[in-house]
């Protein structure tokens, strides 16, 4: 009689104590671009999460070392493509600090105005795209309508729709066009009058609130541990904003208008609420800047610079409250016309690291809600 042999072919991935490794991205509709998330799952629950970055790395920091101080502005412009004006601003502030240069008052107020308009443009993108990721398609159409209104005035003043290249060391490229302030004021008023779309249509939607309330709670301790900043940190109760706590540009004179919005819940809903409230306040700050510009006498918008611009030997650090959080610029000069080193500390890079803390313990179905609420740009991570 032939002996019987038993062979176990397989028990499948659903067996007890069997973890599954799932790669989300780098090309995936829920990753905001070429970001890869390596998830370890136990059934439908995430056990471990690892953001894998570098797929968009372009070596901007090394390219800075081969460009002069005028040329590096165009490189810094692009890493967070939703905050181009603010990116330029941080670089020129660092160079001006190295040079000990004082910028004309008209340029200071105009920079502040354009930085706040850029903040609104940045936030509108996320106010529209985040509901889209949760299944609500309508808000993104409204968001792009409002963005077009503001982009029109930004394009008129700078010539660019996304990459403005309007900042210069010592001020701005040129003065504002005739009648532009009135058109900018009309654009701000038009956008403000229609912001109830997000106040009512999104925040008032019970499905949106059900998908975001209590989901992805980030503690203040984790905020400090990972260096998280911007609206995400303030949604966890961390009350810090460089515009108030270490004012630059004209923010020291705007303290009565500036409102630093915080929430204590630290969940996806709180992050969206802070972003929305910050958008309202940025519109108010833009109006205040327009009022002040109307009172200023005519004057220069920039400083005359030598044909070859060289920063003195030394180093400095400038930081700004970018729309997505704190951006830092560490500039080292050896006295040449190019930086010896320019290190970027981008908001998105630090913010995305907190996913290793946020995602474990949550369901796969909540991953997209958490990821979208981190409001990051992949180019800002990889630089």
* Token couple for 33: 């671009």
329 has a pLDDT exceeding 70: yes
Q: Going along the chain, which residue ranges are E strands?
A: 20-24, 36-42, 45-52, 167-168, 171-172, 314-322, 325-333, 341-345
The yes-or-no verdict on residue 5 having pLDDT over 60 is: no
| 24 pLDDT tier (thresholds 50, 70, 90) | confident
pLDDT of amino acid 11: 43
Tell me which of 185 and 18 has the higher pLDDT.
Answer: 185
Nearest of 159, 165, 157 to residue 293 by alpha carbon: 157
Whether residue 9 is predicted with pLDDT greater than 70 in this model: the reply is no
Name the DSSP class of 27: S
Q: How confident is the model at residue 316 (pLDDT cuts 50, 70, 90)?
A: very high
Residue 247 has pLDDT above 60, yes or no: yes
Q: What per-residue confidence (pLDDT) applies to 2? A: 58
Tokens encoding 374: 């981190």
pLDDT on residue 161: 87
Percent of the chain beyond pLDDT 90?
A: 77
Distance, in Å, from the CA atom of 77 to the CA atom of 89, rounded to the nearest integer, reads 9
Residue among 32, 55, 93, 82 nearest 251 (CA): 93
Highest average pLDDT, of 44-53, 72-81, 105-114, comes from 105-114
Q: Is the pTM of this model over 0.75?
A: yes
Distance in angstroms (rounded) separating the CA atoms of residues 187 and 274: 23
Measured between alpha carbons, how far apart are the two ends of the chain, in Å?
71
4: pLDDT strictly greater than 80 = no
pLDDT tens, residue by residue, 291-312: 999 999 989 999 999 999 999 9
| Residues 118-157 pLDDT 10s | 999 999 999 999 999 898 899 999 999 999 999 999 999 9
Query: Residue 43: what pLDDT?
Result: 87
Asked if residue 201 has pLDDT above 80, the reply is yes
Query: Are the beta carbons of 246 and 293 closer than 8 angstroms?
Result: no
pLDDT category at 231 given cuts 50, 70, 90 is: very high
For the cut 60, the answer to whether the pLDDT of residue 188 exceeds it is: yes
Distance CA 75, CA 61 (A): 9
Among 4, 48, 41, which residue's Cα sits nearest to residue 22? 41
Tens of pLDDT along 280-295?
999 999 999 999 999 9
Query: Given a cut of 80, is residue 31 above it in pLDDT?
Result: no
Q: Does the structure show a pLDDT above 70 at 30?
A: no
User: 102-307+358-381: CATH homologous superfamily?
Assistant: Cytochrome-c3 Hydrogenase, chain B (1.10.645.10)
Among 15-24, 197-206, 315-324, the range scoring the smallest mean pLDDT is 15-24
What pLDDT does residue 17 have? 53
Q: What is the mean pLDDT of residues 174-182?
A: 94
| pLDDT confidence band for 32 (50 / 70 / 90) | low
Among 104-108, 200-204, 277-281, whose mean pLDDT is lowest?
A: 200-204
At 293, phi and psi to the nearest 5? -65, -35
From 122, 59, 71, 108, select the one nearest 347 (Cα to Cα).
122
The full set of domain ranges for the chain reads 20-52, 102-307+358-381
In terms of phi and psi (left: phi > 0; alpha: psi -120 to 50; beta: otherwise), the region of 314 is left
Mean pLDDT value of segment 71-81 = 90
Give the chain's length: 383
The answer to whether the CB of 88 falls within 8 A of the CB of 166 is yes
């Amino acid at each position: 009689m032939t002996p019987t042999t038993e062979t176990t072919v397989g028990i499948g991935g659903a067996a007890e104590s069997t973890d599954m490794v799932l790669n989300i991205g780098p090309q995936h509709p829920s990753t905001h671009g070429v970001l890869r998330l390596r998830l370890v799952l136990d059934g439908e629950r995430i056990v471990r999460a690892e953001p894998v970055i570098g797929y968009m790395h372009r070596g901007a920091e090394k390219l800075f070392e081969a460009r002069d101080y005028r040329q590096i502005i165009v490189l810094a412009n692009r890493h967070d493509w939703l905050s181009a004006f603010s990116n330029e601003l941080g670089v020129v502030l660092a160079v001006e600090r190295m040079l000990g240069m004082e910028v004309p008052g008209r340029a200071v107020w105009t920079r502040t105005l354009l930085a706040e308009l850029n903040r609104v443009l940045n936030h509108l993108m996320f106010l529209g795209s985040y509901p889209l990721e949760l299944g609500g398609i309508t808000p993104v159409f409204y968001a792009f309508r409002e963005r077009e209104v503001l982009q029109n005035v930004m394009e008129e003043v700078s010539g660019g729709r996304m990459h403005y290249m309007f900042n210069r060391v010592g001020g701005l490229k040129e003065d504002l066009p005739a009648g532009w302030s009135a058109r900018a004021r009309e654009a701000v008023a038009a956008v403000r009058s229609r912001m109830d779309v997000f106040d009512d249509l999104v925040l008032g939607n019970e499905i949106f609130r059900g998908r975001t309330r209590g989901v992805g709670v980030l503690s203040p301790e984790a905020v400090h541990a990972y260096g998280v900043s911007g609206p995400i940190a303030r949604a966890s109760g961390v009350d810090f904003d460089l515009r108030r706590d270490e004012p630059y540009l004209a923010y020291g004179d705007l303290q009565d208008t500036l409102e630093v919005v915080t929430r204590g819940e630290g969940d996806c809903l709180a992050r969206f609420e802070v972003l929305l409230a910050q958008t309202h306040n940025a519109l108010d700050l833009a109006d205040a800047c327009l009022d002040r510009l109307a009172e200023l006498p005519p004057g220069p918008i920039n400083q005359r610079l030598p044909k070859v611009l060289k920063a003195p030997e030394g180093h400095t650090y400038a930081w700004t409250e970018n729309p997505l959080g704190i951006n830092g610029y560490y500039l080292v000069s050896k006295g040449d016309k190019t930086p010896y080193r320019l290190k970027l500390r981008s908001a998105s890079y630090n913010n995305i690291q907190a996913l290793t803390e946020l995602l474990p313990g949550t369901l796969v179905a909540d991953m997209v809600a958490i990821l979208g609420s981190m409001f990051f740009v992949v180019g800002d991570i990889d630089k």
